[in-house]
Chains A and B, each alone.
Chain A
Amino acid sequence: MAEAHRKIAGEGWRPWAVGAGALFLAFWTLFPFYWTLKASFMAEIDVLDSLVGMPPSLTLDNYLRVLGLSVSDSIFGGQTRAVMEGFVNSAIVALPSAAFAALIASFAGYAFGRFEFPGKNALLFTLLVSRVLPPITMLIPYFVFFSAVGMVGSLFGLGITYLTAVVPLLSWMLMGYFASLPIEVERAARIDGCSRLQVLFYVTFPMAAPGIAAAFIIAFLVSWNDLLFGIVLTGGTNAQTLSPALLGLSPLMPGFRTELVLFAAASILSTVPPLLLALVFQRFITGLNISDPVTTGGD
């Protein structure tokens, strides 16, 4: 039966095309990592000799040095410590700001997705404009203001700037999501005597948990991966976040000799939280039709 289909439809080439596409996809995604991953397990001295093939020996030393567990580290101690501090600082700022952003966006998404009210279109329009503001446009006033009041180097201030980036995006995203949830359960809970807030916290938000979790993950990734706000508002201070710290260790920094392998190890470590979240995210989004911010207006 299946074969008959194939003959009729002329699908003989199809598995080959899919296979080739899958191979290319795997290569495209993984090859850049391969290079970095390999370098992260090499001694600096082997880098030039092992451009294509495998190095003579593999070592965990780079990771130990980034984690501050190696005693062999004298010259680069300061920079690797900055990476570890960057990890901590990024976690301190990204977790609460993502949680707060997800909460605010849940309220906004619920109100926009469920109700009609006067002025809704105008508010949606401002939300859309906020969503597409380039980060640098937001950064300039914050930087000038924070410099004036001495809030440069404050993780709290940095967290606020992350909210400006993610709250409009997530509100818009969750608006579509809440609109897609069945309203009958909420009505039933209301008839059973729940107050509106009770319905929201005991019925609606639990029902929307996958969407809210996805929103949290996106907000976390935005804050965790950000370079621009972090380098301007915390660069060189005690509050320096991960991306500026990584860049400080980067072989791309002009005028400073750094070790490629050390940077490779730090880079790989920095991708672990996003990697885990992307895997979790992948589960959440299966069958969860989230639309992007600039998008839901039409549906």
Chain B
Amino acid sequence: MAGAPTAALPAREAARARQMSDTQFALVIILGVSLLNAAIIFVPLVYSAWLSLHESNVILRTMEFVGAKHYWTAITDPKVLAAAWRSVVFSAIAVVLSFALSLGFALVLNEDFPGKGLLRALVLLPWAISQVVTATVFSFMLNPNVGALNALLAPMGIVGPSHVWLSQDMALIWVSVAFVWHLAPLGTFFYLASLQTIPEDLYNAARIDRAGPVRRFAHITLPHLRHTTLIVLVVMTVEAVRQFDLVFSLTRGGPGTASQILPMLVFRYNFEFSQYGLAAATSFILTAMSVALAVGYFLLLRKKKAKKETANG
């Protein structure tokens, strides 16, 4: 038996001998988790990298090594460049609007008014529901024939009857707005959590010093939210860059390619044209965009943290 060599020791000593040190225990857990992550995340990624270096023929079921050819094709492909640019525009609109709305909503929800509890619960709803539903809800509103916007605006003469909202020029913008509806609650959630950690005493002290609401906001609230703002902006950017479900449901990237952002294009390369190699290569370009953002942020935080520590020490 495993316990035999220690049987001579008193029971308590034996128990302690079996116990691991903190570091050992942490390493055992981490090893298990990392093995799982390696199996489900990194092995597929390596496989995808292998795919991106090969030309696949679905019908003949052959794979031919082509080196970096797909990467070169992708970065010189006008379709990829156009889709990447659309991704930038889409993300910019989505992040700026969601940021402004979520901060405003959080400030409102941090106040006291009747029905606050209900509204706080409801505000998360657009984030919690399926983006297929979000897409359809927006398509109901934007529908030229049975949509809410035309039904409300056309009688007032603001738009003509059967105005097409998801047009060639405007589709990308409307898709972004629909995405803002989905995304803003997440920022509200972060801001609200942060606002609740500001000590009320600070405001009371400022009141005694006769600081008005604007000055209190500028000198207490805003500085306190700086860190959260960085977090919110990055989470929103990452979500916008990777966005697929809503755009796919609402416009399929159309009309034409008007709202075909990068993940949509990768999807088409892979599932419509079965160009696994090119799709994998393009997906790594998308990944690089996403990782660069996150790493930049990580370094920024590190630097800030280091500064704080030197200031304290």
Contact = CB atoms under 8 A, between A and B. Distances in A.
Q: How large is the interface on A (under 10, 10 to 19, 20 to 34, 35 or more residues)?
A: 35 or more
B283 A196 contact: no
A78 interface: no
B65 interface: no
Given A275-B125, A281-B124, A292-B235, A117 B27 contact: yes
B115 to A, nearest CB: 7
Interface string A150-186: 0000000000100110011001000000000000000
A56 interface: no
Interface in A235-289: 242-243, 246-247, 250-252, 254, 260, 263-264, 267, 270-271, 274-275, 277-279, 281-282, 285, 287, 289
Contacts of B231: 291-292, 294-295
A136 interface: yes
A161 B302 CA distance: 31
A297 B143 CA distance: 44
B205 interface: no
B85 interface: no
Interface string B168-208: 00000000000001000000011001001100000000010
B241 to A, nearest CB: 7
Nearest to B29: A111
A145 B47 CA distance: 9
B44 A138 contact: yes
A104 B30 CA distance: 10
A52 interface: yes
B270 interface: yes
B30 A130 contact: no
Given A117-B27, A134-B286, A246-B130, A278 B193 contact: no
Contacts of A188: none
B98 to A, nearest CB: 12
Interface string A112-154: 1011111000010111111111111110111111000000000
A51 interface: yes
A18 B109 CA distance: 8
A129 B41 CA distance: 11
A168 B47 contact: no
A293 B105 CA distance: 22
Secondary structure type dominating chain A contacts: helix
Given A22-B113, A130-B41, A298 B146 contact: no
Interface string B276-296: 100110011011001101110
Contacts of A133: 41, 45, 287, 290-291
Interface string A10-31: 1100110011011001101111
Given A115-B25, A134-B287, A137-B284, A51 B151 contact: yes
Contacts of A74: none
B128 A275 contact: yes
B271 A232 contact: yes
Interface stretch (B66-74, B75-83, B243-251): B243-251
A276 to B, nearest CB: 10
Contacts of A267: 132-133, 136-137
Contacts of B273: none
A19 B113 CA distance: 8
A125 B244 CA distance: 25
A141 B19 contact: no
A247 B133 CA distance: 9
Contacts of B108: 18, 21-22, 25
B100 interface: no
21 contacts: A32-B141, A32-B181, A36-B140, A51-B146, A104-B33, A107-B33, A123-B30, A126-B37, A133-B291, A136-B286, A140-B48, A140-B276, A167-B40, A221-B128, A243-B130, A254-B252, A290-B193, A297-B301, A298-B227, A298-B301, A298-B305
Interface of B: 15, 19-20, 22-23, 25-27, 29-30, 32-34, 36-37, 40-42, 44-45, 47-48, 51, 101, 104-105, 107-109, 111, 113, 115-116, 119-141, 145-148, 150-152, 181, 189-190, 193, 196-197, 207, 210-213, 227, 231, 234-235, 238, 241-242, 244-245, 248-250, 252, 263, 266-267, 270-271, 276, 279-280, 283-284, 286-287, 290-291, 293-295, 297-298, 301-302, 304-305
Question: Which A-B residue pairs are the 5 nearest by beta carbons?
Answer: A51-B151, A115-B26, A21-B108, A298-B301, A134-B242
